[in-house]
Amino acid sequence: MSDNRAQFLDRAAALRDAFDRSFAEPLPPDPPPFADLLAIRIGTEPYALRLCEIAGLFADRKITPIASRVPALLGIVGHHGAIVPVYDLHVLLEHRAVDATRWLATAADTPVAFAFAAQEGQLRCRPDAIVPHQSDGPARRHAREFIRIADLVRPIVDLGAVIAELRRQVPAKLNAANLNMEEC
Amino acid sequence: MFGSWTFAKKLALGYGLAALTLLVIAAVSYRTTDELVANDDRLIESYAFQAALADLLSDLVDIETGARGYVVTGDSAFLEPYQVALGEVKGHQSTVTALVAGNPARQSKVAAMQPAIVRKLEHARKLVDTRNNAGFDAAAKLVANNEGKAEMDQIRAILGDLDRQESERIGSLVAAGKTNAQWTLAIILWGGLAGVVVVAAIGWLIIRSLTKQIGTAVQHVSSSSTELQAAANQQATGLREQATAMSEITTTITELLVTSRQIAESAQRVAQIAAQTAGGARSGQGAVDLAQDAIGGIRRQVDQIVAYMLDLGRKSQQIGAVLDIVSELAEQTNILAINATIEAAGAGDSGRRFAVVADEIRKLADRVGGSTKEIRALIDDVRSAVNTTVMATETGSKAVDSGSKQFDDVASGFRQIAELVGTTTDAAREIELSTKQQTTAVEQVNIAVANVAQASHETEASAGQTLQTASELAHLSTDLARIIRPQAVAA
């Protein structure tokens, strides 16, 4: 019992030191380039989203369902005074739809949001950690790149490709939005 | 009728007839012999009387001769016969007087002779006195007057008459004796012959009858001895088997005796162990009582533990609620940090510092979230442990209840064990006592069986002797049959 207490105290002290050190140390003059990713889980498969492709992450937002012939469309949600459609990322990535899609990520530069069941935190990695899809690897829809972290390979969802797919399915509505996706 | 008589009767009749024959012969012989003896006595008496008469006459002659010789010669030597005869004449007179007692005729003649004898003796003395005093002449005159001669002649006549009569009597006695002797010889001869014939006839009849009866009896004895021999042989065989069986029984009883002793020792050990077990059961009952008290204490402690654990569970739930808030705050912080990072990235170079802050906040939120997860895991572990502990405690409480009940049962069982062990102790002691009595009885039975075995051996020996005796009896009957009916045995 005393060993656990000491362990917890040491850990708290380490956290405190790290937190204080982050403010105490000077900023690197030329920090190395990095890529920020958002680790998510689609069904049982791990995925990642580029933070540069999303405009925000939200949880437990109320989605107003609407009738549509598009299977992936869950409904609409209000975001910064605008109404954006919400699509189920599980369906778009050809996974089984789930009932509880707690998380919502809005796409950058496009008024559309994607719902998914779970997010597993932010990932920051070097750019060379991101590798393109290889022909002999497992095929994932709308995933051209992968990131390997501790033997775990996460396909990186290409939201631009997803939005292009949506555009093909509902071109009138999306074209009315007149949005463009750019590489980040 | 004669055939149905017994040996004693037949022998008595035979010997009786023989004895009667002999008795008749003996009686007749006795009578004739007695008459012959009496005749001889009378002859002896007559001869003695004649001898006494002769002696008396000789005395008187010697007296007369001696007196006359002395008178003639004057020689005293002639007086010696005189003196001797004078001394004996009285005795001879008394003998003659005695011999004629009971015979009046002789008594009268002897009485008539007595005075003459007195006078003769007086005359002789007178001659001798005269010769001595007066000499030869005076004495010769006395001789010449024939006084002495007349006395002597009278005496001679009486003695001669008595002697003649006695001779006649002797003659008749001799004739009678001869007749008696002839009768006696005839009786002895013919009586003996008749006796022999009678005895021979009786013997023949008895022999014939006895031979017949003894032969039949010998046949029966032979048959019976054969049967007895077979029976004795069979008895000896049976007794040998019986002796063998008794020996086996003795061996078995000896083994049974050893087993009974072992059982007695085991029963004694069982009694001792049962007594020890009774003590142990009593100690166990005391221990069970103490354990019941301890279980009551445990039950109370368990109830307190359950209460504490339930309180701890409630506190854990409260901590979980607080932790939910912390976790939600961490999540919101994390979302905020991610969005800040997104915004910083959108701000370009001006947002780099903000990106650093946002990243640190995100890291802090991640760490808080991780810690929150760990705390939640710990709380879950605590709650699970509490639930498990509560369940285990409730299970333990139930187990304690069950254990208490089981201890009640155990206490009751110990009491029953103590009672049963007491009963077992009594039973073991009774078994021990009974087994000892049984051992004693078995020893007595063993001794009795040994005696019976000894008696069987002795009876076997006796049966052997009986067999030998039966064999000897068979041989004896054969010998007896050979003796009484040799032709039948030879056939």
Mutation to test the A interface, candidates B336, B342, B367, most A Cβ within 10 Å: B342
Q: Are strands A143-149 and A35-42 parallel, antiparallel or unpaired?
A: unpaired
Give the pLDDT band of residue A171 (cuts 50, 70, 90): low
Compute how many other C-beta atoms are within 10 angstroms of the C-beta atom of residue B422: 15
Q: Give phi and psi for A106, each to the nearest 5.
A: -90, 140
> Quick check: B461 contacting A, CB < 8 Å?
no
Name the band, by pLDDT with cuts 50, 70 and 90, for residue B302.
confident
Question: Pick from A19, A54, A108: which is nearest to B360 by CB?
Answer: A19
Alpha-carbon span A160 to A150, nearest angstrom = 27
The amino acid that residue B296 corresponds to is G
Residue B342 touches chain A, beta carbons under 8 Å:
yes
Q: Please tell me whether residue B484 adopts helix, strand or coil conformation.
A: helix
pLDDT above 90 covers what percent of chain B? 0
The string of pLDDT tens digits covering residues B438-464 is 888 888 887 887 788 777 778 777 777
User: Chain B interface, mutation test: which of A57, A79, A102, A106, most B Cβ atoms within 10 Å?
Assistant: A57
DSSP string, chain A: -HHHHHHHHHHHHHHHHHHHHHHHSPPPSSPPP-EEEEEEEETTEEEEEEGGGEEEEEES---B----S-TTEEEEEEETTEEEEEEEHHHHTT----S---EEEEETTSS-EEEESEEEEEEEE-GGGEEEPPTTS---TTEEEEEEETTEEEEEE-HHHHHHHHHHHSHHHHHHHT------
Please list every residue in chain A whose beta carbon sits closer than 8 Å to the beta carbon of residue B369.
121
> Which amino acid, one-letter code, is at B76?
S
B377 touches chain A (CB under 8 A): no
Bigger pLDDT: B395 or A37?
A37
Give how far B381 is from chain A: nearest CA, Å: 14
Residue range B260-276, pLDDT digits in tens: 888 878 878 887 887 78
Whether pLDDT at B292 is above 80: no
Q: Do the Cβ atoms of B338 and A51 come within 8 Å?
A: yes
Q: How far apart are CA B299 and CA B292, in angstroms?
A: 10
Determine contact, residues A162/A179, Cβ cutoff 8 Å.
no
What's the whole-number mean pLDDT along residues A20-39? Answer: 78
| B380-411 pLDDT, tens digit each | 888 788 778 777 777 777 777 777 777 777 77
Local structure of B233: helix, strand or coil: helix
**Contact between A22 and B362 using a beta-carbon 8 Å cutoff:** no
CA dist., res. A77 & res. A98, Å (int): 18
Closest CA to B341 of B354, B350, B330: B354
Check pLDDT > 70 for residue B52.
yes
Q: How far is A58 from chain B (nearest CA, A)?
A: 7
User: Binning pLDDT at 50, 70 and 90, where does residue A110 land?
Assistant: confident
- Do residues A104 and A114 touch, judged by C-beta distance below 8 A? yes
Please name the amino acid found at residue B241: E
Task: Show the tokens assigned to B423.
Answer: 């009963």
Question: At residue B74, does pLDDT exceed 90?
Answer: no
User: B146 with B118: CB under 8 angstroms?
Assistant: no
Count of other CB atoms within 10 angstroms of residue B280: 16
Take residue A121 and report the two structure tokens written for it: 């935190």
Query: Average pLDDT in the B340-366 region?
Result: 81
Q: Give chain B's end-to-end CA distance (angstroms, integer).
A: 31
3-state secondary structure at position B3 = coil
Minimal Cα–Cα distance from B362 to chain A, Å? 8
Q: Do A51 and B345 touch (CB under 8 A)?
A: yes
Across the interface, do B335 and A124 touch by the CB < 8 Å criterion?
no
**Residue B489: its pLDDT value, please?**
63
Task: Using a CB–CB cutoff of 8 Å, tell me whether B75 touches chain A.
Answer: no
B362-400 CB burial, b ≥16 within 10 A, e <16: bbbbbbbbebbeebbebbeebbebbeebbebbeebbeeb
Please report the pLDDT score of residue A177 as a whole number.
Answer: 47
Contact A59 B342 (CB under 8 A): no
Of chain A, the end-to-end C-alpha distance in Å amounts to 50
- A21 CB neighbours in chain B (<8 A) are none
Question: Would you call A54 and B335 a contact, using CB atoms and an 8 Å cutoff?
Answer: no
Instruction: Determine the Cα–Cα distance for residues B216 and B46; give it in Å rounded to an integer.
Output: 67
Quote the CA–CA distance of B136 and B75 in Å, as a whole number: 11
Using a CB–CB cutoff of 8 Å, tell me whether B333 touches chain A: no
CB of B329 within 8 Å of any CB in chain A? no
User: Which residue in chain B has the smallest CA separation from A120?
Assistant: B366
**Order of all β-strands in the sheet with A113-116:** A54-59, A103-107, A113-116, A82-88, A73-79
On whether any CB of chain A is under 8 Å from the CB of B344, the answer is no
Tokens of B312: 């701890």
- A-B contacts (CB, under 8 Å): 46
User: What letter does residue B45 receive in the DSSP assignment?
Assistant: H
Orientation angle between helical segments B104-133 and B7-73, nearest 10 degrees? 30
Residue B339 near chain A (CB below 8 Å): yes
- Per the prediction, chain B carries an average pLDDT of 82
- From CA B477, how far away is CA B229, in angstroms rounded? 13
